[in-house]
Amino acid sequence: MQASLSVFMKGLIDYAGLFPPSALEMKPAIENFLSYRTTPDADKLSAFVIPSGRLSELNGFSDSFADDPGRPVPFSALAGGGNTVHECITNIEGALQQIHYFYEAQRGSVSVTSMEIKLPDADFTDVELAGLLTDIRSRVNAQIPNSVDLFYEPVRNENWQDRVSVLTTALSGHLSSDDGKSGFKLRCGGVEAHMFPTVHQVAVALFSCRKTGVPFKATAGLHHPVRHHNAQIGCMMHGFFNVFGAAVLGSVYGWTVTEYESMLNEEEPSTFVFSEDGFSWNGFEASMDQLGSVRSSLATSYGSCSFNEPLEDLEELGLRKA
């Protein structure tokens, strides 16, 4: 694997084996994750994604979690959402209680490194949303002993561009502290065609995150490196080369929404070039330092129900040896 591809892939994949289409039971899913942490590809792995209400199902794995002292097993906990702000806060409080019990049961061998929060389906004002984010952060800081990154997912509707703008603007006031980062969660697909955002919608999110300096994590739909048509679902699927590559090059060149769209629409794998010196697409280039900087500060990771499938795709493209 070329050096730039190693940097591109570092910590890129949150393992979401509990979720469709894999939808594994807890035991094989967590056993998969623990085994991936011992392989040569462990550097490409990030956290285990789990609904906070299911954390108690992991109590039987305490011995396995403790096998690697000083290296806590990382988790990204889904905190749920709610139709109203009150429901959202209630669900977050419930999630925090589950996380508290989880820490008590595991005694230092685990770490909830991030929480993923779905916002109510509402058009907030800047002031309303800033207040909600402040409230959530204070509750998290009061109940979790380590720093936690918080990623917020807005409901996608006809007001998507406005919602993205308001959320990223509000998040820009909570970018980073000793308590953890606050960022944007970008849903890129699902098990049905209507769950996939358009190229324009993804471009708007990437543009807004770059413009405001807000980090993002992606989820769902990014099973393969390059944009392609999925006959079973009946729609085009986004590629993780497209989404994260656009995040990198868009940051280096200060792209417009239209320029993001061009790369997000790319379907030819050979146009994505990884060398020992950096990453490029259609004449746009990012150095190793630029690639590493954007990946660490802006384009954090994406959730995938498979860890092996993306790596196998890299082998098929000749970018990784089996």
Give pLDDT tens digits for 264-277. Answer: 999 999 999 999 99
Mean pLDDT of 247-271: 98
Strands 284-287 and 228-230: unpaired
Cβ atoms within 10 Å, residue 93: 14
| pLDDT-wise least confident of 8-12, 120-124, 266-270 | 120-124
Query: What whole-number distance in Å separates Cα of residue 214 and Cα of residue 281?
Result: 23
- Tell whether 157 is covered by a domain: yes
Domain count, the chain: 1
Give pLDDT tens digits for 61-74. Answer: 999 998 888 899 99
Give pLDDT tens digits for 78-114. Answer: 998 889 999 999 999 999 999 999 999 998 899 999 9
Query: What whole-number distance in Å separates Cα of residue 107 and Cα of residue 301?
Result: 27
Q: At 97, which CATH number?
A: 3.20.20.70
Arithmetic mean of pLDDT over the chain: 95
Q: Check if the beta carbon of residue 75 is closer than 8 Å to that of residue 149.
A: no
The reported pTM is 0.96
- Tell whether 89 is covered by a domain: yes
Name the phi and psi angles at 299, rounded to 5.
-100, 90
Is the model's pLDDT at 311 over the cut of 90? yes
Is the model's pLDDT at 176 over the cut of 70? no
- Tell whether 22 is covered by a domain: yes
- Tell whether 322 is covered by a domain: no
Is the model's pLDDT at 55 over the cut of 80? yes
Q: What is the 3-state secondary structure (H, E, C) of 203-231?
A: HHHHHHHHHHCCCEEEECCCCCCCCEEEC
Mean pLDDT of 26-49: 97
Q: Give CB contacts under 8 A, 24+ apart, made by 250-257.
A: 250/206, 250/207, 250/210, 251/210, 251/290, 251/294, 251/298, 252/284, 252/285, 252/286, 252/290, 252/294, 253/284, 254/210, 255/207, 255/210, 256/207, 257/200, 257/203, 257/204, 257/207
Task: Tokens for 294, please give them.
Answer: 């954007």
Is the model's pLDDT at 178 over the cut of 90? no
For residue 139, the one-letter residue type is R
- Tell whether 321 is covered by a domain: no
Residue % of the chain over a pLDDT of 90: 92
- Domain region containing 113: 3-316
- Tell whether 215 is covered by a domain: yes
- Tell whether 278 is covered by a domain: yes
Burial classification of residue 203, based on how many CB atoms lie within 10 Å of its CB (0-12 exposed, 13-18 middle, 19 or more buried)? buried
Q: Check if the beta carbon of residue 171 is closer than 8 Å to that of residue 154.
A: no
Task: Tokens for 30, please give them.
Answer: 């967590």
Give pLDDT tens digits for 145-167. Answer: 889 999 999 999 999 999 999 99
In angstroms and rounded to an integer, the radius of gyration of the C-alpha atoms of the chain is: 19
- Tell whether 297 is covered by a domain: yes
Q: How confident is the model at residue 315 (pLDDT cuts 50, 70, 90)?
A: very high
